[in-house]
A and B are shown apart, each in its own frame.
Chain A
């Protein structure tokens, strides 16, 4: 394998204050150049916190971050001042779930993209505007010239998300972070955005971390899936392998409880209970309380995420491989 573009080692994030909560606990993963990683999990599992930590968006005064994050050789957690500015948007860029909130409502889309470009590159206003126009064309916004002078509220949801992607790609980042970019969109628009992201990723060769709670959307774009639970990665494998035979009981439960066409007429398989309180994580495996296969050792110590052939999973008693799936 080539040297990873992004390498996260032992990353922990704690929010402190009146109540402190461990949002991320000892997270470790890599993303290779040009790879698309799907980060899958339910609310509170730490998906968005991971992305925000990679961009250093958490307020320093209320967040305790430990561990190491390197992108393209740079130590991200040590970046300061202009270097941090250049890194945000220049090397790593982000697409948010709600483009209506991510854009400034009082400037046109064109102004915002041009401003972003000029913050990173020495271009005059006219050249920056031309670049913005190219970008809107590239994300397949019809009548791009006219849309350049539109305010965000004048665009539809799908169009705004396209503009958001144009903005994120304006300075050719090496890593794109996409935080539930299609969750707020209608089904017929969602598939258009997923296809666009896939196409742009192939064209530019950038790496992408795609955060979602929707397995279907992740499967459309990701090469690899990492499943998160209570601030930890519990399984990290190529997407086809994970779908065919999940090894962690939580991934298995998540797949089984996702409603599909085959379930009609029978009760759905569910995962009993609810995720643990992040302010008081149990000593052992965070999933043990909901796990049917949990034994005493699961409650005693946290299972490590062990890398082995065919991926990684963090479980003392992984789900057995079905005999057919020889991987």
Chain B
């Protein structure tokens, strides 16, 4: 099905930078939230605290790839998504979409950027207007962007049919009349109504039952091939990430700790946190049950992250250097990198630095 040539709404910006230009470049993205003091702390009581939700995150998304961001709650993966979609204003950093700076002089206007980028959220119910039939919800965006009502409806019906919801049965229904899986299909159709080039899927299959999750994952793979889409796939489910992603980014307390091609990262994880995440996945084999937990304790509070390496107080390998110096991401030729002083790809740091923690 070709939906590109509809009249009234000009086609989204064509491929500008050529195939080698990354579709999206994110540089040094930062978002710090001020924390309000406790009930007993007055306006002058104590220093102002900040949650560094996203602290210097940078990566490229190549055209046509699926980049997954994984991490535990509070690691900043969803905030990163919202910053990229500009649903939240960043405190620092820049976005370059297909070679054009976003919302800068001479670059791309925010309105055009948002047409090129759409988002699907975890909560399929909260992200749909409860008082709008789903057919209208899908048609709404294109109509606002200048398509005639008839053409928008036609387009919405075609998209609903494509995601597996017969429009004659479903277009007039309200969100509460659909199941979770069906609502998520509506959300996907709505995102595609703009013919976006980048789709951000923020835990888009996390709330679905397993059998429905498989259906939606298949649909996403088909749509990606049909429309030449690029996905930014945010998830905490490593099985799903391994299935769908080409490249993976692991985040911990607002920073990227490891990134690389999916097979390399899953088979030769170089950051101890990634290794812990991977071994925390249940084994699915009653004869080989997990005997020991890879980590103790919960993810720490992002208000006061530890000095040096933020993972050091949960890390089984931590040495003095981890307390003193912030590890930088070091990449190998295959594009796989980790931010760890003890990255096995680079050998041990100098003996002096490897003294145990005080």
Complex contacts, B32 vs chain A, CB 8 Å: none
A76–B48 alpha-carbon span in the complex (Å): 56
Q: Tell me whether A219 and B282 are in contact in the complex, defined as CB-CB below 8 angstroms, given that A186-B299, A213-B210, A257-B213 are known contacts.
A: yes
Taking the complex as formed, is B280 at the interface, i.e. its CB lies under 8 A from any CB of chain A?
yes
Q: Is the CB of B266 within 8 A of A257?
A: no
Partner of A270, one of B180, B214, B277: B214
Distance in angstroms from B219 CB to nearest chain A CB is 10
Q: Is the CB of A195 within 8 A of B214?
A: no
Q: Is the CB of B243 within 8 A of A191?
A: no
Q: Is the CB of A216 within 8 A of B286?
A: no
Q: Tell me whether A187 and B213 are in contact in the complex, defined as CB-CB below 8 angstroms, given that A216-B282, A261-B239, A268-B243 are known contacts.
A: no
Partner of A261, one of B266, B289, B296: B266
Complex contacts, B240 vs chain A, CB 8 Å: 259
Partner of A159, one of B237, B243, B289, B298: B298
Interface of A (DSSP majority class):
helix
Q: Is the CB of A191 within 8 A of B298?
A: no
* Cβ proximity bits A198-219 to B, threshold 8 Å, 1 near / 0 not: 1000000000000001111101
Q: Is the CB of B284 within 8 A of A274?
A: no
Complex contacts, A191 vs chain B, CB 8 Å: 280, 282, 290, 293-294
Q: Tell me whether A219 and B266 are in contact in the complex, defined as CB-CB below 8 angstroms, given that A187-B280, A192-B293, A253-B211 are known contacts.
A: no
Q: Is the CB of A274 within 8 A of B290?
A: no
A138–B289 alpha-carbon span in the complex (Å): 22
Distance in angstroms from B168 CB to nearest chain A CB is 18
Taking the complex as formed, is A243 at the interface, i.e. its CB lies under 8 A from any CB of chain B?
yes
Complex contacts, A219 vs chain B, CB 8 Å: 282-286, 289
Q: Tell me whether A240 and B286 are in contact in the complex, defined as CB-CB below 8 angstroms, given that A156-B298, A274-B181 are known contacts.
A: yes
**Chain A CB within 10 A, most for which of B217, B236, B283, B298:** B298
Taking the complex as formed, is B100 at the interface, i.e. its CB lies under 8 A from any CB of chain A?
no
Complex contacts, B286 vs chain A, CB 8 Å: 219, 239-240, 243
* Cβ proximity bits B182-201 to A, threshold 8 Å, 1 near / 0 not: 10000000000000000000
A42–B298 alpha-carbon span in the complex (Å): 28
Q: Tell me whether A243 and B242 are in contact in the complex, defined as CB-CB below 8 angstroms, given that A42-B210, A257-B214, A259-B213 are known contacts.
A: no
Complex contacts, B285 vs chain A, CB 8 Å: 219, 243
Q: Tell me whether A268 and B283 are in contact in the complex, defined as CB-CB below 8 angstroms, given that A259-B240, A261-B239 are known contacts.
A: no
State which size class the interface on B falls in. Answer: 35 or more
Taking the complex as formed, is B179 at the interface, i.e. its CB lies under 8 A from any CB of chain A?
yes
A260–B243 alpha-carbon span in the complex (Å): 7
A56–B262 alpha-carbon span in the complex (Å): 48
Taking the complex as formed, is A269 at the interface, i.e. its CB lies under 8 A from any CB of chain B?
yes
Complex contacts, B284 vs chain A, CB 8 Å: 215-216, 219, 243, 260
Q: Tell me whether A188 and B276 are in contact in the complex, defined as CB-CB below 8 angstroms, given that A268-B214, A274-B181 are known contacts.
A: yes
Complex contacts, A214 vs chain B, CB 8 Å: 282
- CB-CB nearest in chain B for A271: B211
Taking the complex as formed, is B172 at the interface, i.e. its CB lies under 8 A from any CB of chain A?
no
Partner of A254, one of B210, B243, B298: B210
Complex contacts, B217 vs chain A, CB 8 Å: 259, 268
Distance in angstroms from B19 CB to nearest chain A CB is 22
Q: Is the CB of B293 within 8 A of A259?
A: no
A192–B314 alpha-carbon span in the complex (Å): 14
Complex contacts, B180 vs chain A, CB 8 Å: 43
Q: Is the CB of A259 within 8 A of B243?
A: yes
Q: Is the CB of B210 within 8 A of A258?
A: yes
A267–B218 alpha-carbon span in the complex (Å): 6
Taking the complex as formed, is A317 at the interface, i.e. its CB lies under 8 A from any CB of chain B?
no
Q: Is the CB of A220 within 8 A of B211?
A: no
Taking the complex as formed, is A144 at the interface, i.e. its CB lies under 8 A from any CB of chain B?
no
Q: Is the CB of A195 within 8 A of B293?
A: yes
Among all A-B residue pairs, the 9 with the closest Cβ atoms:
A216-B282, A257-B214, A42-B209, A186-B72, A268-B214, A156-B298, A271-B211, A259-B239, A270-B214
Identify 5 new A-B residue pairs, CB closer than 8 A, beyond the known A43-B209, A219-B289, A268-B214.
Answer: A159-B298, A240-B286, A240-B287, A254-B210, A259-B217
